[in-house]
Amino acid sequence: MTTAMGAWTLALTLCAGAAVWLLGRRDHESHRLRKLLKPHAPPPSPTPRWRQLIETAHGRLRPEWWCLPAGATLALLAESVVPLIAGAAGVPLAAGVRRARDARRERERRRAAVIAWLGEVAAEVRAGRQPDEALRLTLDDPADAGPGLGGARSSVLAAARFGGDVPGALRSAAREPGAEGLLGLAACWRVAVDRGAGLAAGLGRLEAALRAERDQHADLRAQLAGARSTAVMLAALPLLGLLMGSALGAEPLRVLFHTAPGLACLAVGGVLEGVGVWWALRIVRRAEER
């Protein structure tokens, strides 16, 4: 009975944490919308102290640090230090997953910015601008080309403004993840300058090819989302089994954390669970890369 109450306490704690996180995110998004839609509106009423604390914690704490309170809660319920150690060990793993996700989002954002910038350059060239002038006009606003060129924007702008090596500067900028499309722009630029070929036509075909590649990649990710969700759902089934066992009075936490066979099963099961999730997600990532 005590184990069942502990399991329900763990479930309620996790739900409360999720509700606090969602509340803080909703308040943050509402504040942004009010600033965008009503720039001249009177200042809002003072925010309650508890909401300020929630927003501060939500802004400063990374998601991976939730592994510590989750491990501490499970350690109290199981009366064992093993979950606390596992939660502390899970912080760097979750941080690595978060960094990989952020890097993937940054790569996709930079790829979209490069495609949009190529379209702007092609439009300026079609309008009768010289290639150097088209580059200068589109690079003068950092908000347009900044996400695509990154730190190499200044070198590309200087090369276009003072007659430098524009293809070399573009190749340097293409080293950033997601900016590989700039290699095509460098090739088009060199062909247009050396042989007098039309730059606008080449940029149009390059933009169309990059958009088609991006759409194909997005479609592939949408098709593989089901496989990824299935892998994550199957990985969560042991937790459901623990909750069901606790509800039936089998006391699985006591068996897992206070008996030698339980600790052995926990160690072997945790290793197999981690390897299985890693292998399934690796298959999905390799399919996306191909």
- How far apart CA 20 and CA 26 sit, in angstroms, is 10
Does 269 score more than 80 pLDDT?
yes
Distance between CA atoms of residues 160 and 137, nearest Å: 10
7 vs 108, more confident: 108
Alpha-carbon separation of residue 4 from 77, 85, 124, 241 (angstroms): 10, 23, 68, 13
Mean pLDDT of the chain: 76
Task: Compare 51 and 98 and report the one with higher pLDDT.
Answer: 98
Q: Does the CA dihedral 253-255-257-262 come out positive or negative?
A: negative
Residue pLDDT, tens place only, 206-223: 888 888 888 888 888 888
Per-residue confidence (pLDDT) for residue 16, from 0 to 100: 54
> Distance (Å, rounded) from C-alpha 67 to C-alpha 93?
10
What would the pLDDT profile of 63-90 be if each residue is shown by its tens digit? 778 888 888 888 888 888 888 888 888 8
Beta-carbon contacts of 204 under 8 Å, excluding residues fewer than 6 positions away, are: 122
Helix, strand, coil percent values for the chain (each to nearest 5): 85, 0, 15
**What would you measure as the largest C-alpha separation in the chain, in angstroms?**
83
- Give the list of residues 6+ apart from residue 88 with CB closer than 8 angstroms, or none: 67, 68, 71
Q: How far apart are CA 98 and CA 154, in angstroms?
A: 30
Residue 75 CB partners (closer than 8 Å, separation 6+): 81, 82, 83, 84, 87
DSSP one-letter string for 160-189:
HHHT--HHHHHHHHTTSTT-TTHHHHHHHH
The type of residue at 287 is A
- Please report which helix (H) or strand (E) contains residue 42, including its range: none
